[in-house]
Amino acid sequence: MPISEQGYRHWPGTLVERRRPWAPITRLGVKLAFKRKYFKFVLGLSLLPALIFSVGVYISEKIEDFKFMIRGRSQFLTVDPAYFKAYFTSDFLLFMMVMIMVLAGAGLIADDLKHNSLQLYFARPLRKRDYLLGKMGVLSFFLLLQTLLPGLLFFLLKLIFSGSLKFFAQYPGIPLAVVVDSLVLTVFFGLYTLFISSLGRNRRFVSIMLFLVYIFSDIFFGVFFGIFRRPVFCLLSIKANLQQVGSALFGVSGPYDVPWIYSALILAALAGAAAFVLLRKIRGVEVIR
Amino acid sequence: MTARIRAEKLSKWYGNVLGLSDVTLDIEPGITGLLGPNGAGKSTFLKLLIGQLRPSIGVVLIDGRPVWNNTALFRRFGFCPEQDAFYEDMTGWDFLYRLLRLYGGTREEAATRAERALEFVELTNDQNRLVRGYSRGMRQRLKFAQAIAHDPEIIVLDEPLNGLDPLSKRKTIKLIKDFKAQGKTVIVSSHVLPEIEALTRSIILIHQGKILAQGDIHYIRDLIDGHPHVIAVKCDRPRDLAARLVAEDSVADIRFGQDGSVVFETRNRDRLYGLLPRLAAGDRLDIEEITSPDDNLQAVFDYLIGK
Amino acid sequence: MNIELKDIHFSYGPVKALDGVDLSIGEGACGLLGPNGAGKSTLLRILLGFLRPGRGEGRILGRDILHDQFAIRRLVGYMPEDDCLIPGLDAVTFTAYFGELSGMPRQEAMKRAHDVLFYVGLGEARYRLIETYSAGMKQRIKLAQALVHDPKLLFLDEPTSNLDPQGRREVLELIKDISSKKDIQVLISSHILSDIEFTCSNVVILNKGRVAAQGEIQALKQVDYSLYEMKIKGETETFIRSLRQGGCRVEETEEGLLKVYMPPGLQRDGLFRIAARENIQIRHFVRSQTSLEDLFAKTVGVD
């Protein structure tokens, strides 16, 4: 045809059924996170422990070589499960994870509620769970970057620098512990963030709540501990619970003299409650008024 | 009961952003339609009229008295704004009742007026529910109720029919026309031009902060020289009709519509409208329909503001 | 028929929203009218493949509404009434994103987003952030995201809300253009009857959970073949007298409109002959029809 059709044109392609319907949501969320002010700086800061611990692995190898020449054994900088536990339960890392959640995740659901975009999502062939999985994907991306990646990296570096698989033979449970603890941290923080994000329409409100709940749970622990001097109150603190579980996974005793299984149960209960409320909140039906 | 509104050299700036520039006009009792593109200055104008904004230059007079900050005069105004501004935690009845109490008078008076207004807008069944639970249509009706409940002489309505279903619209239009019959001065601003046409023939057109036109729609249309009047005629032999019309000097343009009608333009409507019956009779043309598609407010808007 | 519903019922708990809806919608744009609370949003949710009716059956674009809801949602484009956006995105990214979510491959969605944005008139502004858009532009981008995946059923909910007269005209023209394509079924829900009359050939009027009327607007408007409305200029009184002598019944409204009822014997040309003889100008002459507003009022049975 010499002159193509003006005005509205049809699209000749076919719509596909995606294997991963949640993928575009995750991709967009990650892109938007990077656009936020200070995000790259905070992300860099949160990866600092990973850098330091990686260097520590290197030094520990070389120092060991050194120390071998000097007589006497030194416990200085041994890479063992306690080393991994130190990373995964560090106050700084956990706090930075919350910071990342605030920057990348506060608005994930709150913005959609505020700006009415849920009705655009659900007018598509998208299930509730795909939507939530997509949002979780954004958070998982960053959280795994801070947990799974460094954990496996330390393990690999240790093997590489020690030049043998001796470490693996010595502590075969470490890779599994890394994966499980990463999942625990990721799933818990992910659900925590999405849950709070679904409560408010204001991203700023959600950001503040994400901080406050985390910090205050620890403060309550401190207050009750100060009054009653019983370590069982560590169960009130999100941070403490995560540290207990993390330690247990690496086979090291936790910071508090309380069975770690209680911490695990509390975390599971909180996560379960958050998931339950989330599924109820995103009731697609009411979304189109 | 009649109040005349006069604006003299009225101008308003917000910092260096222009709101309204050099407006001088009179608004008589009756219904006046206010229209214009977004950002033209309509809301600024309305707020200046009811004394909520202070003019940068000039003055708004109600019966000769300046209106800015003149709280004694506010009693005589009713204003239905475009946005929602409610106390969400009150019930509909509460909200209206308390507003009415602000106008003074006894508790019984305020209560009766509230009841009457709510009955008119058909919110009686929902008057004890919180405003928070109201739908859009209900909020619009409550806004309208608060504008009229205290029986004001000057009523300013900004998009009053927004969100109402066709029957509520009809009811509200009828009420506004009743106001006119009672001698009140009503100013209605709307983007839906057919709805303004249903209310009044008297309009004010604002564009870029200035008054572009004021008066009767058809009179204004007549004055738009640049666009000759369009007349459309449906008949059984359109070509024959067109042939006869082509011979007329006063026909500026002829074309054929998609439905087989003859559409032509002329500056001399009297002559052409007189000619058509003679053609029908003389040439035995069966004329089915005669209309003037651009003798309406949308055309006035398009021709004056255009693209 | 693009949409066929038989005896649809739906209740939200104890509240019955749809009480036996029978619908048949085919070619041409169709307007959906009804008082608030008539069940329009519930019907919309069912048409969008969102809800399963409690009872009844139907097909939308050939897909079963009870079992193929996902397939229906793939074929539907929805332009909501409220403003909706995702902060931080420009128009192209926004539109392409929703195209992807509908099942378009990424590159195709991007390409199509550009096309659609040009079509709705946002071509120049498509790289700007949506938050900076005016009301009219926000309306258009809602339309763009509804069109990006080339839907077969387009649902527009109050498409001209918040638009100024120019914007209204432009959006209505766009809708008319889209409706003229043969393979899109357009459904418009609006309270502005003049918009419906301009864009739609058919209408469905809902009331209290049931269909109160449906069909072609022209057919429903009941043209009265012997009643005419006219405006004249000239010696009105004599003209009216002559018409009455000729056997017509004439009423004059307060706005100067003449309603002329012609007896079976008289043809139109008789009327024109009288006008020509008495030097009357006929400035407006149409067959009387019930307006859509009167039709609505009659159907919904109030007042």
Subunit contact A288:C98, Cβ cutoff 8 A: no
Band (A155; pLDDT cuts 50, 70, 90)? confident
Q: What is the pLDDT of residues C2-34, one digit of tens each?
A: 899 999 999 888 888 899 899 999 888 999 999
- Which tokens hold the place of B102? 């602000």
Distance to chain C for B81, nearest Cα, Å: 14
Q: What is the pLDDT of residues A79-109, one digit of tens each?
A: 778 888 888 988 999 999 999 999 999 989 9
Q: Is B66 helix (H, G, I), strand (E, B) or coil?
A: strand
Q: According to the model, what pLDDT value does residue B1 have?
A: 46
Strands C30-33 and C55-60: unpaired
pTM (global) more than 0.80: yes
Distance to chain A for C113, nearest Cα, Å: 11
How far CA A102 is from CA of A156, A189, C212, in Å, comes to 31, 11, 52
Contacts of A24 in chain C (CB under 8 A): 97, 100-101, 106
Long-range (24+ apart) CB contacts under 8 A made by C13-21 are C16/C209, C17/C42, C17/C209, C18/C42, C18/C43, C18/C46, C18/C53, C18/C209, C18/C210, C19/C208, C19/C209, C19/C210, C20/C56, C20/C209, C20/C210, C21/C56, C21/C206, C21/C209, C21/C210, C21/C211
Among residues A189, A24, A220, the alpha carbon closest in space to that of A94 is found at A189
Band (A68; pLDDT cuts 50, 70, 90)? low
Lowest mean pLDDT among B123-127, B180-184, C74-78: B123-127
Taking the C-alpha atoms of residue A208 and residue A195, their distance in angstroms, rounded to an integer, is 14
Distance to chain C for B112, nearest Cα, Å: 25
Q: Which chains touch C (3 or more CB pairs under 8 A)?
A: A, B
Q: Does the structure show a pLDDT above 60 at A286?
A: no
Smallest Cβ–Cβ distance between A8 and the set C98, C100, C119 belongs to C119
Q: What is the pLDDT of residues C260-297, one digit of tens each?
A: 988 877 788 888 988 999 889 999 999 888 889 888 98
Smallest Cβ–Cβ distance between C84 and the set A28, A35, A115 belongs to A115
Angle between helices A238-249 and A91-105 (to 10 degrees): 120
Subunit contact A11:C150, Cβ cutoff 8 A: yes
Q: Does the structure show a pLDDT above 90 at A186?
A: yes
- Which tokens hold the place of C89? 């995105």
Q: Does the structure show a pLDDT above 60 at C214?
A: yes
Q: Which chains touch B (3 or more CB pairs under 8 A)?
A: C
Q: What is the pLDDT of residues A29-65, one digit of tens each?
A: 999 999 988 899 999 999 999 998 888 888 777 776 6
Across residues B126-141, what is the average pLDDT? Answer: 85
Tell me which chain A residue has its CA closest to the CA of residue C68.
Answer: A125
The answer to whether B180 touches B30, Cβ cutoff 8 Å, is: yes
Q: According to the model, what pLDDT value does residue B285 have?
A: 87
Contacts of C176 in chain B (CB under 8 A): none
Band (A76; pLDDT cuts 50, 70, 90)? low
For CATH 3.30.70.100, the residue range(s) in chain C are 227-287
Tell me which chain B residue has its CA closest to the CA of residue C158.
Answer: B163
Q: According to the model, what pLDDT value does residue C291 have?
A: 87
- Better-predicted residue by pLDDT, C193 or B71: C193
Band (C138; pLDDT cuts 50, 70, 90)? very high
Positive or negative CA dihedral for A189, A192, A193, A195? positive
Q: Does the structure show a pLDDT above 80 at B264?
A: yes
Any CB–CB contact under 8 A between B82 and chain C?
no
The answer to whether B197 touches B217, Cβ cutoff 8 Å, is: yes
Domain formed by C227-287, architecture: 2-Layer Sandwich (3.30)
Burial A107-132 (b: 16+ CB within 10 A, else e): bbbbbbbebbbbbbbbbbbbebebbb
ipTM of the complex: 0.86
Q: Does the structure show a pLDDT above 70 at A120?
A: yes
Q: According to the model, what pLDDT value does residue B2 have?
A: 56
Return the number of other C-beta atoms located less than 10 Å from residue C128's C-beta: 14
Distance to chain C for A271, nearest Cα, Å: 27
The tokens 């996902």 sit on which residue? C70
Subunit contact C282:B289, Cβ cutoff 8 A: no
Query: Number of A:C CB contacts under 8 A?
Result: 102
Q: According to the model, what pLDDT value does residue C192 have?
A: 93
Taking the C-alpha atoms of residue B37 and residue B21, their distance in angstroms, rounded to an integer, is 16
- Which tokens hold the place of C274? 């009288």
For CATH 3.40.50.300, the residue range(s) in chain C are 3-220
- Which tokens hold the place of A246? 């993390």
Round the CA-based radius of gyration of chain A to a whole number and report it: 23
Q: What is the pLDDT of residues C103-125, one digit of tens each?
A: 899 999 999 999 999 999 898 99
Lowest mean pLDDT among A159-173, B42-56, C30-44: A159-173
Round the CA-based radius of gyration of chain C to a whole number and report it: 24
Query: Which domains, ranges and CATH numbers included, belong to chain B?
Result: 5-217 (3.40.50.300), 224-305 (3.30.70)
Q: According to the model, what pLDDT value does residue A287 have?
A: 55
Q: Does the structure show a pLDDT above 90 at A159?
A: no
Any CB–CB contact under 8 A between C119 and chain A?
yes
Band (C303; pLDDT cuts 50, 70, 90)? very low
Subunit contact C168:B192, Cβ cutoff 8 A: yes
For domain C3-220, which CATH number applies: 3.40.50.150, 3.40.50.300, 3.30.930.10, 3.50.50.100?
3.40.50.300
Q: According to the model, what pLDDT value does residue C127 have?
A: 94
Q: According to the model, what pLDDT value does residue A1 have?
A: 58
Taking the C-alpha atoms of residue B215 and residue C174, their distance in angstroms, rounded to an integer, is 32
- Better-predicted residue by pLDDT, A135 or A74: A135
Q: What is the pLDDT of residues B65-115, one digit of tens each?
A: 899 888 888 888 999 998 887 888 888 888 889 888 888 778 888 899 999
Distance to chain C for B242, nearest Cα, Å: 18
Contacts of B268 in chain C (CB under 8 A): none
Tell me which chain B residue has its CA closest to the CA of residue C194.
Answer: B194
Lowest mean pLDDT among A183-197, A271-285, B41-55, B156-170: A271-285
Q: According to the model, what pLDDT value does residue B307 have?
A: 57
Contacts of B162 in chain C (CB under 8 A): 161
Any CB–CB contact under 8 A between C76 and chain A?
yes
Q: According to the model, what pLDDT value does residue C27 have?
A: 81
Across residues C223-240, what is the average pLDDT? Answer: 87
Smallest Cβ–Cβ distance between B191 and the set C165, C194, C267 belongs to C165
How far CA C204 is from CA of B125, C33, C38, C68, C216, in Å, comes to 28, 6, 12, 24, 9
Q: According to the model, what pLDDT value does residue B272 have?
A: 92
Any CB–CB contact under 8 A between A11 and chain C?
yes
Among residues C210, C207, C208, C190, the alpha carbon closest in space to that of C199 is found at C190
- Best interface-test mutation with A: which of C12, C94, C101, C178 has the largest number of A CBs within 10 A? C101
Across residues B2-17, what is the average pLDDT? Answer: 87
Q: According to the model, what pLDDT value does residue A189 have?
A: 94
Q: What is the pLDDT of residues B201-250, one digit of tens each?
A: 999 999 999 999 999 999 999 888 888 999 999 998 999 999 999 999 99
The C residues from 125 to 164 touching A (CB cutoff 8 Å) are 145, 147, 149-150
Tell me which chain C residue has its CA closest to the CA of residue B270.
Answer: C281
Subunit contact B166:C286, Cβ cutoff 8 A: no
